[in-house]
Structure 1
């Protein structure tokens, strides 16, 4: 319990800014999960869950009485969503794992219909959640928090499905999330988002290249899990 207590309370002071170590550690776990996702490794999911649990406590600053008493409900809520969807994604990738040790899911394009649904879902979800988060007292601009939550949900779902386009949704999330986090005083997460923006763009090209190197098996087996039946 001593280690857990230290992790919960430990702070890094830089000038007049205070950063929680669990914000830093949570983002490191998130980065490791993203690296595993780029390489299509099953362990990316449980590693990500650990980071999500830590960051959940960070973004409810007023609730957990942290040095930064700002509640980002979209950021906190998406950590819960991440954990839920990650359990499903972890199971899905484990079921479809083949070939290389620990490697799961073959990248595939979402297709025109699913791309339209993703865009509509991102815009529509943001519009629906903005007044909800506003009523709950989320940090302004509230639409940005709603955009981050909705985009994160769609990106995580797309990753579990093996869609190459999920990386581009993360890029859209990072473009909005970076200035929001800096303005709210979450500097460690803001700096990590700057890196994530470049990383997710690179991830898109890695998955797109991997997709081009595979035969078009989706015309016969649209769901990668069905290839093992």
Structure 2
């Protein structure tokens, strides 16, 4: 089973796909679905997917089927894991306080002016740092790769804070990620981005409804928490 996961390939058309790419993306879909339900399990499931996908996006170094190294894609798996540890702990604490009252981790809230400024500043800094870094590393499509890395970090951080806007950021990431991954021939990941787009719409609506229910019931919100 381990050899199948590490070295297995599936013939598709005239090429091959890594089993790891498919499995890692499967964990990503599961994490997105759990996140839309505000389940703490979204974080550990996502971390497993991040570990698997990191090895996929450095395929050129590892002499795997893909010939393009997407260092931004690989790097974002590392950032995902770091932010996911923070989000995992934060959601566990909120669930323990029973803020939502429905068994989920939290009541969604809007970022507010302060949160939006925080996200904007982090986004500018991220692009200024990641674009020249990825370009120097020889990443394929460094500008798009830099936005995918930056936006993914912002979205994951926003999710950890319980901000509804993180779904919108994910949609913007998907809009760049799909064509970039198709051109780089990472087809399973490109397909995953399309699925993520659908999940983002679903998740956005689900979080909006959860917030409205909480407000109608006089529940507490997580809006603009420190």
Same fold (TM over 0.5): yes
- Give the equivalent residue in structure 2 for 1:227: none
Alignment coverage as a number of residue pairs: 219
Q: What stretches of structure 2 of length at least 5 have no aligned partner?
A: none
Using the TM superposition, give the Cα deviation of residue 124 of structure 1 relative to its aligned residue in structure 2, in angstroms: 4.1
CA RMSD of aligned residues (A): 1.8
Using the TM superposition, give the Cα deviation of residue 15 of structure 1 relative to its aligned residue in structure 2, in angstroms: 1.2
Using the TM superposition, give the Cα deviation of residue 218 of structure 1 relative to its aligned residue in structure 2, in angstroms: 4.5
Using the TM superposition, give the Cα deviation of residue 223 of structure 1 relative to its aligned residue in structure 2, in angstroms: 3.5
Residue 108, structure 1, aligned to residue 132, structure 2 = no
Q: What stretches of structure 1 of length at least 5 have no aligned partner?
A: 225-229
- Give the equivalent residue in structure 2 for 1:223: 225
Q: Distance in 2 between matches of 1:112 and 1:146?
A: 25
Q: Distance in 1 between matches of 2:21 and 2:120?
A: 30
Residue 211, structure 1, aligned to residue 194, structure 2 = no
Query: Does structure 2 conserve the Cα–Cα contact (< 8 Å) formed by 1:127 and 1:143?
Result: no
Query: Does structure 1 conserve the Cα–Cα contact (< 8 Å) formed by 2:71 and 2:139?
Result: yes
Matches within 5 A, 1:1-229: 3-97=1-95, 98=98, 99-101=101-103, 103-140=104-141, 142-215=142-215, 217-218=220-221, 223=225
Using the TM superposition, give the Cα deviation of residue 122 of structure 1 relative to its aligned residue in structure 2, in angstroms: 2.4
SS in 2 for 1:13: strand
Q: Distance in 2 between matches of 1:168 and 1:119?
A: 13
Cα-to-partner distance string for 1:168-197 (whole Å, 9 max, x where unaligned): 010010000000000001000001111111
Cα-to-partner distance string for 1:22-75 (whole Å, 9 max, x where unaligned): 101101100000000000011111111111000000000112211112110110
Using the TM superposition, give the Cα deviation of residue 129 of structure 1 relative to its aligned residue in structure 2, in angstroms: 1.3
Q: Distance in 2 between matches of 1:120 and 1:19?
A: 38
Query: What's the TM-score, normalizing by structure 2?
Result: 0.91
